[in-house]
Chains A and B, each alone.
Chain A
Amino acid sequence: MDFIAQLPVLPVVLPFVAAPLCLLLPAGRAPWVWATLVAWATFALSLILLEQVWINGTISYAMGGWSAPMGIAYRIDLTNGMVLALISFVAAVVFPYAGPSVRDEIAHKQTPAFYTALLLCFAGLIGVTITGDAFNVFVFLEISSLSTYVLVAMGAGRDRRALTAAFNYLVMGTIGATFFVIGLGLLYMATGTLNMIDLHERLVGQDNRVVKAAFAFIVTGLGLKLAMLPLHLWLPPAYSYAPSSITAFLAATATKVAVYIMLRFLYTVFGFDFPFLSVALDFFLILGVAGMFVASLAAMFQDDIKMMLAYSSVAQIGYMLLGISLGTVDGVAAGLLHLVNHAFMKAALFMAVGCVVLRLGSHQLSAFQGLAKRMPWTAWGMVIAAMSLAGIPGTAGFISKFALLQASFDKGGLTPTIAGFLIVLSSLLAVVYLMRVVRVMLQPLPESGPFTKPVVRPPLLMRVSLWVMVLANIYFGLQGGGLIALTRRAASILMGVDAGGAM
């Protein structure tokens, strides 16, 4: 069997097969090492795959030899190739980090189950990204979501509120998935196919209520998954009470994959032929801008840093939606760019918070007082990632916010221009809530209260992983050219009617 020919399926198959095997491993270090190795291998495979796509154009793969309309087809173009590489990169960095953190937060005998769930979640996210079959998306989405509920609930060892958060997430996630699958059902009813390319071809020219209803259900369902503004309420508690490494992993991947799927359905499955697409884009614009402000303002008053960062994630989703809603190649490219960069900064920030949780046992603001003296590597890594989140020049966040601004102003017209100014304004809010943390971290050590005792530094592995992410923020802030080119090409392919057109 030719390796390259089977390459598209390997990133899904590998973690999928590895997950049940993980359950058989003895509790302790072994499952962690196993998961880490799998993540690294998957990352390597994803990079090779991305390179192939970059050189040869879109790759199609027929699962089990059944060709497209009948069987499940995998279809990898630059957009999902890039998201795939991003997810596996985050996994490759966060999984090693998880080791020391999980030892502290999860019961010893639960470790095989924990890493099995983590690998399943990882496999599910990759499957969602890689597949070219609409129903397959639902299946993988459920795989990743179900394992995510478990992972969030495992935070209960440290904070019992994780259980309610996981329960709420379960209910909401299921509603979202149900809406999504109802939408798919309606589409199947209208077209008789579930393959994305096929769907697009058969949907062209259909403008009936079934399709419209399908669109509404799918947008609402996915909107819930990606935490679009009024549907975001599940996210802050779930992120706050999940184990540290899970928060870092989910914040950098789960919503990103949902955003990707939304893009895929908007531009590949429905496409510009639909007159109601522009209505949907206006809808996103309004909700995106609202999210930028409502969530940023909520973040400003949070004393729980994980909660604050979670609200900030909701706001950042707003930026991505804003980029997507512009409906131009530049806008979508900027949205994709922000998707990637936001994964870097949020992963770094949540990893830094994880280090603090490990050593001080709290993610309240008060635990961060004097952190720059107590845990300098963690604190300064967090400062750099925060700068990136705020969009300070020289960091990745600046590049993507600048691209968003440029795209808004280039679009012309009153609304995008106003949106551009609102991006700047809400970035200032980000500066406000991040400055609160940075200021506290730079203060002298507390003299009274629960956080006075000296602490040892976080394990080297955690600091190294954190700094890999921090350096990614700096690297893509200084050398953003390649990534910008990649997102632009991905966006132009995505928005072409033929979603698979090679360059």
Chain B
Amino acid sequence: MNYHVTIGLETHIQLKTNSKIFCACANHFGDEPNTNVCPVCLGYPGVMPVLNEEAVHKTIRAGLMIGSRIGAFCKFDRKSYFYPDMPKNYQITQYDRPFCIGGQVEIEVDGRKKIIRVNRIHLEEDVAKNTHAATSSEVDFNRAGTPLMEVVSEPDMETPEEALAYLQALKQIMVYGGISECNLEEGNMRCDVNISLRPDGQEKLGVKAEIKNMNTFKGVFQALQAETRRQESILESGGSVRQETLRFDPDAGVTLPMRSKEYAHDYRYFPEPDLMPVVLDKDVIERWRSELPELPQQRRERFVSQYDLPEYDAAVLTADKHLADYYERAAAGTKNFKAVSNWVMTEVMRVLSEKGWTIEQFPIQADALAELVALADGKVINSNSAKEVFSILLEEPGASPKALVEKRGMAQVSDSSAIDAFVDQVITEQTKSVEDFRNGKQAALQFLVGQIMKLSRGKANPQMAAQALRDKIGSME
């Protein structure tokens, strides 16, 4: 039997703020354990939280970017549970009056576009980080109180591929909006998924299982694949899926039940009496809306229209906001936008992938790249020399491409009499290859051009050299 898969995601995204959500401790990853803590984020009894205005702004900005309606009256609630990552035994979150309601994210899988609806975005406090040792667990509260958005999708995804595309699109939007760095290694983005199967033709959704707390996209993807197989085999053998909470074991590639005791909760939500409701002025929201940056999709379309780039180039360049920024800075310094795109997509991205760098760590500044592209595009240097200049710039990031070309005498020889001299010399020396070419062996021409490049120490204009060779050999008797 064929089954229809239904997937919904709850994505936790840490906001990029200076300080924590309810206290003035630094919101900063990677510091020594328990150095960014105070009685508020340690959950001492009687402490008073005060809401960080920037956390509110960023949450609403996230909602505006995905087309949410902003709640007219928003408040916080206490979610009770017992776990050492939250010693006050409740998490401050938003239950029935979140900041953002509705919204949507567009995804594309195998060339097919689809809208994934978002149910809501609410704001809450992140909890402490536990490290489990042999007989005890250690708790670091630096993370506790980090402003954390929860983006709840509708169950609109039907394959692991769609779930992956949704996460990537969501990340792209958040990074574009400056809302979060979405650095997965630092736990900026974590995900719970709900998945259920139902036989084709059945309207009613099947019983769902929840897979909790995954912090890599690959993990989400593999967990969904594994869970689809698991539920399929249960249904196939006539059994029924239990509603339960699972975790994904990436090493074994399977989903496993969590200890029921650990996740049996009765959250008993009630309004947080220590925080006042938030009622935002319509004018403030409209001002924030007017300040929204361009969405990834809009920027992609603009790259096609403004720079006349193919769809493919636009998609590659705008996938990462910082890469798109780099491209635009470089494009500003040249007329050949496509040439800049080629350089960024091949040479620059190759180096990034080899070195494991982000574009922000890339040593060659955009204006230097633009200068190099202009030299190559204007045929001042040939493509081999251009690549050589690129390598030198990697080592000497401050150098000027123009100065390098002059200093090293790399300017291309496009003077026809100089090229003719090289051609004559090669024709005299390489009689065998000349003969081969005359007999129709095209590869021989490449060899002869190579010889000219060698003689000219890489500086000859290869197109002119090839043309001169053809002309001269063609006119030979």
Chain B binds chain A: no
